[in-house]
Structure 1
Protein backbone atom coordinates (compact mmCIF):
# COMPACT_ATOMS: atom_id res chain seq x y z
CA UNK A 1 0.00 0.00 0.00
CA UNK A 2 1.36 3.28 -1.02
CA UNK A 3 0.60 6.51 0.79
CA UNK A 4 0.66 9.70 -1.16
CA UNK A 5 3.20 12.11 0.17
CA UNK A 6 1.89 15.50 1.15
CA UNK A 7 4.02 18.59 1.15
CA UNK A 8 3.57 21.80 3.05
CA UNK A 9 2.28 24.61 0.86
CA UNK A 10 4.66 27.38 -0.02
CA UNK A 11 4.86 29.80 2.87
CA UNK A 12 2.89 32.96 2.37
CA UNK A 13 5.26 35.92 2.40
CA UNK A 14 4.63 38.60 4.94
CA UNK A 15 2.66 41.51 3.58
CA UNK A 16 4.84 44.54 3.00
CA UNK A 17 4.74 47.03 5.80
CA UNK A 18 3.03 50.21 4.73
CA UNK A 19 4.50 53.27 6.45
CA UNK A 20 2.06 55.37 8.43
CA UNK A 21 0.96 58.56 6.67
CA UNK A 22 3.01 61.65 7.38
CA UNK A 23 1.07 63.97 9.71
CA UNK A 24 0.97 67.52 8.40
CA UNK A 25 -0.43 70.23 10.66
CA UNK A 26 -1.15 73.47 8.83
CA UNK A 27 -1.72 76.78 10.57
CA UNK A 28 -3.65 78.97 8.18
CA UNK A 29 -6.09 81.85 7.90
CA UNK A 30 -9.02 82.09 5.52
CA UNK A 31 -8.03 85.70 4.82
CA UNK A 32 -4.44 84.80 3.89
CA UNK A 33 -3.78 84.77 0.12
CA UNK A 34 -0.49 82.94 0.54
CA UNK A 35 -2.32 80.21 2.46
CA UNK A 36 -4.46 79.47 -0.59
CA UNK A 37 -1.49 79.69 -2.94
CA UNK A 38 0.56 77.52 -0.59
CA UNK A 39 -2.26 74.98 -0.45
CA UNK A 40 -2.08 74.54 -4.21
CA UNK A 41 1.71 74.22 -4.14
CA UNK A 42 1.55 71.63 -1.39
CA UNK A 43 -1.08 69.69 -3.32
CA UNK A 44 1.26 69.71 -6.34
CA UNK A 45 3.98 68.18 -4.16
CA UNK A 46 1.55 65.49 -3.02
CA UNK A 47 0.66 64.69 -6.63
CA UNK A 48 4.33 64.59 -7.62
CA UNK A 49 5.39 62.27 -4.80
CA UNK A 50 2.32 60.12 -4.24
CA UNK A 51 3.23 60.03 -0.55
CA UNK A 52 0.39 59.47 1.89
CA UNK A 53 -0.26 62.27 4.36
CA UNK A 54 -2.78 63.11 7.04
CA UNK A 55 -3.52 66.84 6.96
CA UNK A 56 -5.13 68.86 9.70
CA UNK A 57 -5.76 72.59 9.54
CA UNK A 58 -5.49 74.89 12.57
CA UNK A 59 -6.72 78.42 13.14
CA UNK A 60 -4.57 81.52 12.89
CA UNK A 61 -6.20 84.96 12.60
CA UNK A 62 -4.21 87.64 10.83
CA UNK A 63 -6.72 90.36 11.74
CA UNK A 64 -8.61 89.28 14.87
CA UNK A 65 -9.61 92.91 15.51
CA UNK A 66 -11.53 93.22 12.24
CA UNK A 67 -15.31 93.61 12.59
CA UNK A 68 -17.73 91.22 10.96
CA UNK A 69 -18.99 94.03 8.76
CA UNK A 70 -15.95 95.82 7.35
CA UNK A 71 -16.98 98.76 5.23
CA UNK A 72 -14.19 99.42 2.80
CA UNK A 73 -12.31 98.26 -0.24
CA UNK A 74 -9.19 96.12 -0.46
CA UNK A 75 -7.25 99.37 -0.75
CA UNK A 76 -8.78 100.59 2.51
CA UNK A 77 -8.06 97.32 4.27
CA UNK A 78 -4.41 97.17 3.28
CA UNK A 79 -3.83 100.79 4.20
CA UNK A 80 -5.25 100.02 7.65
CA UNK A 81 -2.82 97.09 7.85
CA UNK A 82 0.11 99.43 7.29
CA UNK A 83 0.64 99.60 3.54
CA UNK A 84 0.98 102.96 1.83
CA UNK A 85 -1.48 103.91 -0.89
CA UNK A 86 1.24 103.52 -3.53
CA UNK A 87 2.13 100.01 -2.37
CA UNK A 88 -1.31 98.48 -2.59
CA UNK A 89 -1.85 98.01 -6.33
CA UNK A 90 1.61 96.51 -7.01
CA UNK A 91 1.04 94.15 -4.09
CA UNK A 92 -2.36 93.05 -5.38
CA UNK A 93 -0.94 92.54 -8.86
CA UNK A 94 1.82 90.34 -7.43
CA UNK A 95 -0.68 88.29 -5.41
CA UNK A 96 -3.01 87.88 -8.39
CA UNK A 97 -0.09 86.77 -10.53
CA UNK A 98 1.11 84.24 -7.95
CA UNK A 99 -2.44 82.91 -7.66
CA UNK A 100 -2.84 82.66 -11.43
CA UNK A 101 0.38 80.64 -11.64
CA UNK A 102 -1.18 77.89 -9.52
CA UNK A 103 -4.58 77.96 -11.20
CA UNK A 104 -6.42 80.36 -8.90
CA UNK A 105 -8.36 83.45 -9.93
CA UNK A 106 -8.28 86.04 -7.15
CA UNK A 107 -10.80 88.84 -7.56
CA UNK A 108 -9.93 91.73 -5.29
CA UNK A 109 -12.67 93.92 -6.76
CA UNK A 110 -15.36 91.79 -5.10
CA UNK A 111 -13.46 90.38 -2.11
CA UNK A 112 -15.11 91.19 1.24
CA UNK A 113 -13.05 91.44 4.39
CA UNK A 114 -14.53 90.26 7.65
CA UNK A 115 -13.60 88.79 11.00
CA UNK A 116 -12.67 85.15 10.39
CA UNK A 117 -13.29 83.60 13.81
CA UNK A 118 -16.64 82.12 12.75
CA UNK A 119 -15.08 80.68 9.61
CA UNK A 120 -12.44 78.97 11.70
CA UNK A 121 -15.15 77.56 13.93
CA UNK A 122 -16.86 76.15 10.86
CA UNK A 123 -13.61 74.46 9.86
CA UNK A 124 -13.38 72.81 13.28
CA UNK A 125 -17.00 71.68 13.04
CA UNK A 126 -16.34 70.22 9.57
CA UNK A 127 -13.34 68.39 11.02
CA UNK A 128 -15.70 66.64 13.44
CA UNK A 129 -17.63 65.43 10.38
CA UNK A 130 -14.54 64.21 8.52
CA UNK A 131 -14.81 67.01 5.93
CA UNK A 132 -12.31 69.59 7.10
CA UNK A 133 -10.23 69.71 3.93
CA UNK A 134 -13.30 70.19 1.74
CA UNK A 135 -14.49 72.98 4.02
CA UNK A 136 -11.15 74.77 3.94
CA UNK A 137 -11.11 74.67 0.16
CA UNK A 138 -14.70 75.90 -0.09
CA UNK A 139 -14.09 78.83 2.26
CA UNK A 140 -10.92 79.94 0.49
CA UNK A 141 -12.58 79.83 -2.91
CA UNK A 142 -15.63 81.67 -1.61
CA UNK A 143 -13.48 84.40 -0.11
CA UNK A 144 -10.85 84.98 -2.79
CA UNK A 145 -12.66 84.08 -6.00
CA UNK A 146 -16.37 84.58 -5.40
CA UNK A 147 -16.72 87.60 -3.12
CA UNK A 148 -18.82 85.69 -0.57
CA UNK A 149 -19.20 87.04 2.97
CA UNK A 150 -17.47 84.37 5.05
CA UNK A 151 -18.06 86.06 8.40
CA UNK A 152 -21.82 85.66 8.65
CA UNK A 153 -23.39 82.57 10.17
CA UNK A 154 -26.02 82.22 7.45
CA UNK A 155 -23.52 82.48 4.62
CA UNK A 156 -21.14 80.04 6.30
CA UNK A 157 -23.96 77.55 6.80
CA UNK A 158 -24.75 77.87 3.08
CA UNK A 159 -21.15 77.01 2.25
CA UNK A 160 -21.28 73.98 4.52
CA UNK A 161 -24.41 72.81 2.72
CA UNK A 162 -22.68 73.28 -0.63
CA UNK A 163 -20.18 70.55 0.26
CA UNK A 164 -22.94 68.25 1.45
CA UNK A 165 -22.99 68.96 5.18
CA UNK A 166 -26.10 69.65 7.22
CA UNK A 167 -26.90 73.37 7.03
CA UNK A 168 -29.12 73.43 10.11
CA UNK A 169 -26.50 71.67 12.21
CA UNK A 170 -23.76 73.97 10.94
CA UNK A 171 -25.86 77.05 11.72
CA UNK A 172 -26.55 75.80 15.26
CA UNK A 173 -22.86 75.16 15.92
CA UNK A 174 -21.98 78.67 14.75
CA UNK A 175 -24.78 80.36 16.70
CA UNK A 176 -23.65 78.63 19.88
CA UNK A 177 -19.93 79.36 19.27
CA UNK A 178 -19.54 75.66 19.92
CA UNK A 179 -15.99 75.49 18.57
CA UNK A 180 -14.69 78.86 19.74
CA UNK A 181 -12.70 77.26 22.55
CA UNK A 182 -11.00 74.93 20.06
CA UNK A 183 -10.11 77.85 17.81
CA UNK A 184 -8.58 79.77 20.72
CA UNK A 185 -6.61 76.69 21.78
CA UNK A 186 -5.16 76.36 18.27
CA UNK A 187 -4.15 80.01 18.28
CA UNK A 188 -2.46 79.60 21.66
CA UNK A 189 -0.61 76.58 20.33
CA UNK A 190 0.64 78.67 17.41
CA UNK A 191 2.11 81.16 19.87
CA UNK A 192 3.75 78.35 21.84
CA UNK A 193 5.38 77.12 18.64
CA UNK A 194 6.61 80.60 17.81
CA UNK A 195 4.51 80.88 14.66
CA UNK A 196 4.42 84.50 13.53
CA UNK A 197 2.91 84.14 10.09
CA UNK A 198 1.01 81.75 7.89
CA UNK A 199 0.88 79.40 6.16
CA UNK A 200 2.98 77.33 8.53
CA UNK A 201 3.43 73.59 8.08
CA UNK A 202 4.55 71.16 10.76
CA UNK A 203 5.57 67.72 9.50
CA UNK A 204 5.30 64.80 11.92
CA UNK A 205 5.73 67.19 14.86
CA UNK A 206 9.36 67.51 13.73
CA UNK A 207 9.91 69.96 10.88
CA UNK A 208 8.38 73.41 10.62
CA UNK A 209 8.16 75.17 7.26
CA UNK A 210 6.90 78.71 6.82
CA UNK A 211 5.38 80.21 3.71
CA UNK A 212 4.00 79.16 0.34
CA UNK A 213 7.11 77.27 -0.64
CA UNK A 214 7.87 75.87 -4.07
CA UNK A 215 6.41 72.38 -4.54
CA UNK A 216 9.94 70.97 -4.74
CA UNK A 217 10.63 72.11 -1.16
CA UNK A 218 7.55 70.32 0.13
CA UNK A 219 8.35 67.27 -1.99
CA UNK A 220 11.90 67.01 -0.62
CA UNK A 221 10.63 67.07 2.97
CA UNK A 222 7.97 64.47 2.24
CA UNK A 223 10.49 62.15 0.59
CA UNK A 224 12.94 62.49 3.46
CA UNK A 225 10.32 61.72 6.07
CA UNK A 226 8.82 58.90 4.02
CA UNK A 227 12.27 57.35 3.60
CA UNK A 228 12.86 57.40 7.34
CA UNK A 229 9.52 55.70 7.97
CA UNK A 230 10.38 52.94 5.50
CA UNK A 231 13.77 52.31 7.12
CA UNK A 232 12.29 52.15 10.62
Structure 2
Protein backbone atom coordinates (compact mmCIF):
# COMPACT_ATOMS: atom_id res chain seq x y z
CA UNK A 1 0.00 0.00 0.00
CA UNK A 2 1.20 3.50 -0.78
CA UNK A 3 0.19 6.35 1.48
CA UNK A 4 0.93 9.83 0.13
CA UNK A 5 0.84 12.75 2.52
CA UNK A 6 0.65 16.36 1.37
CA UNK A 7 1.66 18.83 4.05
CA UNK A 8 3.40 22.14 4.65
CA UNK A 9 6.32 22.48 7.00
CA UNK A 10 4.86 25.47 8.85
CA UNK A 11 1.41 23.91 9.27
CA UNK A 12 0.66 22.98 12.90
CA UNK A 13 -2.27 20.79 11.87
CA UNK A 14 0.04 18.88 9.51
CA UNK A 15 2.48 17.96 12.27
CA UNK A 16 -0.43 16.95 14.50
CA UNK A 17 -1.86 14.85 11.65
CA UNK A 18 1.54 13.24 11.14
CA UNK A 19 1.67 12.11 14.75
CA UNK A 20 -1.89 10.78 14.67
CA UNK A 21 -1.10 8.87 11.49
CA UNK A 22 2.00 7.41 13.12
CA UNK A 23 -0.13 6.31 16.08
CA UNK A 24 -2.52 4.60 13.67
CA UNK A 25 0.31 2.85 11.86
CA UNK A 26 1.59 1.66 15.23
CA UNK A 27 -1.75 -0.09 15.75
CA UNK A 28 -2.09 -1.39 12.19
CA UNK A 29 -1.23 -5.07 11.75
CA UNK A 30 0.03 -4.55 8.20
CA UNK A 31 2.06 -1.39 8.78
CA UNK A 32 5.13 -3.05 7.26
CA UNK A 33 3.26 -3.12 3.95
CA UNK A 34 2.63 0.64 3.94
CA UNK A 35 5.02 2.91 2.07
CA UNK A 36 4.59 6.52 3.24
CA UNK A 37 5.55 9.19 0.69
CA UNK A 38 5.72 12.83 1.78
CA UNK A 39 4.52 15.38 -0.77
CA UNK A 40 5.01 19.13 -0.88
CA UNK A 41 2.32 21.76 -0.46
CA UNK A 42 2.33 25.48 0.33
CA UNK A 43 -0.46 26.93 2.40
CA UNK A 44 0.54 30.42 1.32
CA UNK A 45 2.70 30.36 -1.83
CA UNK A 46 2.31 34.14 -2.13
CA UNK A 47 4.15 34.79 1.13
CA UNK A 48 7.38 36.57 0.11
CA UNK A 49 10.73 34.89 0.46
CA UNK A 50 13.26 36.43 2.76
CA UNK A 51 10.69 38.23 4.91
CA UNK A 52 10.22 36.21 8.11
CA UNK A 53 7.67 37.52 10.59
CA UNK A 54 6.30 36.33 13.92
CA UNK A 55 3.35 34.05 13.15
CA UNK A 56 0.96 35.72 15.65
CA UNK A 57 1.57 39.09 14.03
CA UNK A 58 1.19 37.75 10.48
CA UNK A 59 -1.99 35.81 11.34
CA UNK A 60 -3.59 38.78 13.06
CA UNK A 61 -3.02 40.86 9.94
CA UNK A 62 -4.10 38.18 7.48
CA UNK A 63 -7.27 37.21 9.35
CA UNK A 64 -8.12 40.64 10.68
CA UNK A 65 -8.15 39.07 14.13
CA UNK A 66 -7.18 40.46 17.50
CA UNK A 67 -4.01 39.22 19.22
CA UNK A 68 -6.26 37.54 21.81
CA UNK A 69 -8.17 35.68 19.10
CA UNK A 70 -4.93 34.51 17.47
CA UNK A 71 -3.60 33.37 20.85
CA UNK A 72 -6.79 31.37 21.42
CA UNK A 73 -6.53 29.71 18.03
CA UNK A 74 -2.91 28.81 18.60
CA UNK A 75 -3.68 27.62 22.12
CA UNK A 76 -6.31 25.22 20.80
CA UNK A 77 -4.01 23.45 18.36
CA UNK A 78 -1.15 23.55 20.88
CA UNK A 79 -3.29 21.66 23.39
CA UNK A 80 -4.24 19.03 20.80
CA UNK A 81 -0.60 18.66 19.77
CA UNK A 82 0.42 18.11 23.37
CA UNK A 83 -1.86 15.06 23.45
CA UNK A 84 0.42 13.36 20.91
CA UNK A 85 3.67 14.51 22.49
CA UNK A 86 4.35 17.70 20.52
CA UNK A 87 5.49 20.75 22.48
CA UNK A 88 4.46 23.60 20.19
CA UNK A 89 5.71 27.13 20.71
CA UNK A 90 3.48 28.82 18.15
CA UNK A 91 3.63 32.15 19.94
CA UNK A 92 7.31 32.27 18.94
CA UNK A 93 7.04 30.57 15.55
CA UNK A 94 8.17 32.32 12.40
CA UNK A 95 6.11 32.82 9.25
CA UNK A 96 8.22 31.96 6.21
CA UNK A 97 7.99 30.98 2.57
CA UNK A 98 8.53 27.21 2.46
CA UNK A 99 9.30 26.62 -1.21
CA UNK A 100 13.06 26.20 -0.75
CA UNK A 101 12.56 23.99 2.28
CA UNK A 102 10.33 21.75 0.21
CA UNK A 103 12.94 21.63 -2.54
CA UNK A 104 15.40 20.32 0.03
CA UNK A 105 13.01 17.53 1.03
CA UNK A 106 13.15 16.31 -2.55
CA UNK A 107 16.94 16.41 -2.44
CA UNK A 108 16.83 14.51 0.85
CA UNK A 109 14.73 11.81 -0.80
CA UNK A 110 17.67 11.13 -3.12
CA UNK A 111 19.67 10.23 -0.03
CA UNK A 112 16.86 8.18 1.49
CA UNK A 113 16.25 10.90 4.09
CA UNK A 114 13.13 12.61 2.77
CA UNK A 115 10.85 11.67 5.67
CA UNK A 116 13.55 12.51 8.19
CA UNK A 117 14.06 16.01 6.79
CA UNK A 118 10.32 16.63 6.62
CA UNK A 119 10.09 15.75 10.32
CA UNK A 120 13.14 17.84 11.21
CA UNK A 121 11.83 20.92 9.43
CA UNK A 122 8.45 20.72 11.15
CA UNK A 123 10.13 20.32 14.52
CA UNK A 124 12.40 23.27 13.77
CA UNK A 125 9.59 25.64 12.84
CA UNK A 126 6.73 24.61 15.12
CA UNK A 127 8.62 23.58 18.25
CA UNK A 128 12.00 25.30 18.07
CA UNK A 129 10.79 28.52 16.37
CA UNK A 130 13.46 28.43 13.66
CA UNK A 131 13.25 30.29 10.36
CA UNK A 132 12.87 27.67 7.62
CA UNK A 133 13.42 30.30 4.93
CA UNK A 134 17.02 30.92 5.96
CA UNK A 135 19.65 29.17 3.83
CA UNK A 136 22.16 28.56 6.62
CA UNK A 137 19.42 27.15 8.85
CA UNK A 138 18.16 24.87 6.09
CA UNK A 139 21.65 23.57 5.32
CA UNK A 140 22.26 22.83 9.00
CA UNK A 141 18.95 21.03 9.43
CA UNK A 142 19.51 18.99 6.27
CA UNK A 143 22.98 18.00 7.45
CA UNK A 144 21.55 16.89 10.80
CA UNK A 145 19.52 14.17 9.07
CA UNK A 146 22.30 13.04 6.72
CA UNK A 147 22.02 15.27 3.65
CA UNK A 148 25.48 16.58 2.64
CA UNK A 149 25.76 20.30 3.38
CA UNK A 150 27.42 21.00 0.05
CA UNK A 151 24.54 19.37 -1.84
CA UNK A 152 22.00 21.36 0.15
CA UNK A 153 23.82 24.62 -0.56
CA UNK A 154 24.00 23.81 -4.25
CA UNK A 155 20.26 23.19 -4.43
CA UNK A 156 19.42 26.36 -2.51
CA UNK A 157 21.66 28.42 -4.80
CA UNK A 158 19.71 27.32 -7.90
CA UNK A 159 16.28 26.01 -8.81
CA UNK A 160 16.75 22.26 -8.57
CA UNK A 161 13.62 20.33 -7.57
CA UNK A 162 11.38 23.34 -8.13
CA UNK A 163 9.49 21.37 -10.77
CA UNK A 164 9.05 18.49 -8.30
CA UNK A 165 7.52 20.77 -5.68
CA UNK A 166 5.21 22.32 -8.25
CA UNK A 167 4.19 18.87 -9.52
CA UNK A 168 3.28 17.78 -6.00
CA UNK A 169 1.11 20.85 -5.54
CA UNK A 170 -0.61 20.34 -8.91
CA UNK A 171 -1.38 16.73 -8.02
CA UNK A 172 -2.90 17.76 -4.71
CA UNK A 173 -5.10 20.26 -6.52
CA UNK A 174 -6.10 17.58 -9.04
CA UNK A 175 -7.25 15.42 -6.13
CA UNK A 176 -9.34 18.32 -4.89
CA UNK A 177 -7.16 19.33 -1.96
CA UNK A 178 -7.44 22.99 -1.04
CA UNK A 179 -5.58 22.63 2.22
CA UNK A 180 -3.39 20.27 4.17
CA UNK A 181 -2.76 17.81 5.66
CA UNK A 182 -4.18 15.64 2.90
CA UNK A 183 -3.69 11.89 2.73
CA UNK A 184 -4.21 9.55 -0.23
CA UNK A 185 -4.16 5.76 0.05
CA UNK A 186 -3.26 3.85 -3.10
CA UNK A 187 -4.50 6.78 -5.19
CA UNK A 188 -8.03 5.64 -4.34
CA UNK A 189 -8.96 7.03 -0.93
CA UNK A 190 -8.56 10.62 0.19
CA UNK A 191 -8.51 11.77 3.81
CA UNK A 192 -8.55 15.48 4.54
CA UNK A 193 -7.36 17.08 7.76
CA UNK A 194 -5.71 15.94 10.98
CA UNK A 195 -8.27 13.25 11.64
CA UNK A 196 -8.39 11.28 14.91
CA UNK A 197 -6.07 8.29 15.12
CA UNK A 198 -9.09 5.97 14.96
CA UNK A 199 -10.15 7.44 11.61
CA UNK A 200 -6.71 6.82 10.10
CA UNK A 201 -6.67 3.28 11.44
CA UNK A 202 -10.11 2.57 9.99
CA UNK A 203 -9.03 3.92 6.59
CA UNK A 204 -5.87 1.81 6.62
CA UNK A 205 -7.86 -1.33 7.43
CA UNK A 206 -10.44 -0.60 4.73
CA UNK A 207 -7.81 0.14 2.08
CA UNK A 208 -5.93 -3.04 2.96
CA UNK A 209 -9.09 -5.12 2.82
CA UNK A 210 -10.14 -3.64 -0.51
CA UNK A 211 -6.64 -4.13 -1.91
CA UNK A 212 -6.73 -7.78 -0.93
CA UNK A 213 -10.14 -8.33 -2.56
CA UNK A 214 -9.63 -6.05 -5.55
CA UNK A 215 -12.43 -3.78 -4.41
CA UNK A 216 -12.40 -0.01 -4.06
CA UNK A 217 -12.95 3.01 -6.21
CA UNK A 218 -10.79 4.83 -8.72
CA UNK A 219 -8.34 7.55 -7.71
CA UNK A 220 -9.19 10.02 -4.99
CA UNK A 221 -10.99 13.14 -6.11
Query: TM-score under structure 2 normalisation?
Result: 0.90
Match of 2:59 in 1: 78
Which one of 95, 98, 109 corresponds to residue 127 of structure 1? 109
Match of 1:28 in 2: 7
Give the C-alpha shift of residue 109 in structure 1. 3.4
CA 1:83–1:72 in structure 2 vs 1: closer, same or farther (change >3 Å)?
same
Any conservation in 2 of the 1:112–1:147 contact (CA below 8 Å)? yes
The within-5 A match list for 1:116-195 is: 116-195=98-177
Match of 1:54 in 2: 35
Q: Secondary structure at the match of 1:189?
A: helix
Query: 5+ residue gaps in structure 2?
Result: 215-221
Q: Which has the higher mean CA deviation after the structures are superposed, 64-73 or 111-120?
A: 64-73
RMSD over aligned CA atoms reads 1.4
CA offsets per residue over residues 102-121 of structure 1, 9 Å max, x none?
A: 10011123311110000110
Give the C-alpha shift of residue 231 in structure 1. 4.0
The structure richer in helix per residue is: 2
Any conservation in 1 of the 2:56–2:91 contact (CA below 8 Å)? no
Aligned length: 211
2:124 and 2:160 map into 1 onto residues whose CA distance is 23
CA 1:216–1:187 in structure 2 vs 1: closer, same or farther (change >3 Å)?
same
Which one of 1, 11, 22 corresponds to residue 43 of structure 1? 22
Query: 5+ residue gaps in structure 1?
Result: 1-21
Any conservation in 1 of the 2:52–2:131 contact (CA below 8 Å)? no
Q: Secondary structure at the match of 1:24?
A: strand
Match of 1:92 in 2: 74
Indicate the structure (1 or 2) with the bigger Cα radius of gyration.
Answer: 1
